[in-house]
A and B are shown apart, each in its own frame.
Chain A
Amino acid sequence: MSDQPDRDLLAAEYVLGSLEGEERRDAEQLLAADPEFARSVAAWQQRLTPLAAHVAPVVPPADLWGRIENRITPAAPTVSILAFRRQVRFWQATTVGALAIAASLAAFMVLRQPEPPRVAMLSPLAGGAPVLLATAERGGGLVVQPTAPITVPTDKDLELWALPQGETRPRSLGVLPASGRTLVAQLAPNTQLLVSLEPKGGSPTGQPTGPVLYGGWLTTVELPRG
């Protein structure tokens, strides 16, 4: 603290609440990025919070708890999965581009491994072209790559989930940077992959809490013969 007096004062002003414009944005960015600054903010909150004792309590509107509850209750997965299955059949039947990507991948994979590869094209549940390609590798690796630009709000993360056929509770495979990543996961043959929008760092509950944005079934690619 003593070796960074300016930062500690910025933290104090941030907690006081009087910053505006660029100064306020600078403080918010520091708060997210700099643990020392976050400690300063917490210390100033502790110092100044007794001032809040001065504020008279007010009963919130009667419907407010219901609005909060709606936002913290995970969406029932069955509804979106049914919608999603229709979506998969739709693009399997119609999206030549997606099949072309899968086929070219299969041609590449066939050189490297004798087993038929398994891939999943993850498409927006709301409809549209696939945005992520997941490839299961023989050793249990799962390579997830974007096939279209994905924008994630800075205070959110995408989280990848596996839902084997017949099961109702998805299992988290981890947070997914928009740039894609390689995960280690043993996946049953008929597994659905889902991507939900979660708070930074992933779902706090172990189950999806935000909207399920993308989904796709992991399917075996038929290799070209001859």
Chain B
Amino acid sequence: MSATAHAAEIDDTEALLHRCAGGDRTALRQLYDRWGNRLHGIALRITRQAALAADATQDAFVQIWRQAHRFDPDRGGPDAWLIGIVRYRALDIVRRQSREVPGYEPEKIEDASPDALARLVSTAEGAALRRCLGELEDDRRRLVVMAFVDGLSHSELAARMSVPLGTVKSWIRRSLISLRECLAS
């Protein structure tokens, strides 16, 4: 997507959120048409089960409808807001599953592809994040990407990387500190 098309999409999404806040259900339908596939893809990536992903996407759109009036463009873009909502709903569902369903094992995920960062260039923000992730050591970059994209918890990451839980926590914290400094520069 070009930078211009991206900016136009952001403007349209903001306008649709504004109409949702005013009670216009056709605006939510347009958001669903525009964002449904992307948000559902994110929900499926985190929950790894079709039924759980459908629940997460459904909950996300209901929450988008009810909280559209709280979207504040001064705090961030509508894409980050929408994606945040579906990620938290999906994370709620998988954390609850692993806590409440005896013997629940998340589906296996494929290894993060080596070019996981290659698509981070469609926007200026993506390019900056890619550059800053590139400054992290390979293991730590993988941790950050798997946590965000696959929704893995600290303990799941520790099991997957075969390192102690405390090590995972400290690697993640140090990686986030590095990212914050790098992105601010």
Contacts and interface: CB of A to CB of B under 8 A. Distances in A.
Given A24-B95, A51-B120, A52-B83, A65 B29 contact: yes
B152 A67 contact: no
B36 A60 contact: yes
Contacts of B83: 45, 49, 52
Nearest to A12: B176
B93 interface: no
B120 A54 contact: yes
Contacts of B65: 68, 72, 204
A199 B20 CA distance: 15
A18 B125 contact: no
B41 A58 contact: yes
A67 B65 CA distance: 13
A18 B152 contact: yes
Contacts of A19: 153-154
Contacts of B42: 52, 55
A17 interface: yes
B16 interface: no
Given A18-B153, A52-B83, A39 B119 contact: no
B97 interface: no
Interface in B20-61: 21, 23, 25, 28-29, 32, 36-38, 40-42, 44-46, 50, 53-54, 57-58, 61
Contact of A50 (B68, B123, B172, B177): B123
A32 B148 CA distance: 22
Contacts of B21: 204
Given A24-B95, A204-B21, A18 B154 contact: yes
A96 interface: no
A132 B70 CA distance: 30
A88 B155 CA distance: 55
A58 B122 contact: no
Nearest to B65: A72
A45 B86 CA distance: 12
A150 interface: no
A164 to B, nearest CB: 22
A137 B54 CA distance: 49
Given A55-B149, A56-B41, A42 B75 contact: yes
A47 interface: yes
A73 B62 CA distance: 10
Contacts of A54: 116-117, 119-120, 145, 149
B151 A17 contact: yes
B153 A206 contact: no
Contacts of A45: 76, 80-81, 83-84
A18 B25 contact: no
A45 B57 CA distance: 18
A9 B149 contact: no
B62 A46 contact: no
Contacts of A46: 75-77, 80, 125
B131 to A, nearest CB: 11
A226 interface: no
Contacts of B180: 8, 12, 47
7 closest cross-chain pairs (CB), A and B: A50-B126, A57-B37, A205-B23, A42-B75, A46-B76, A18-B147, A49-B80
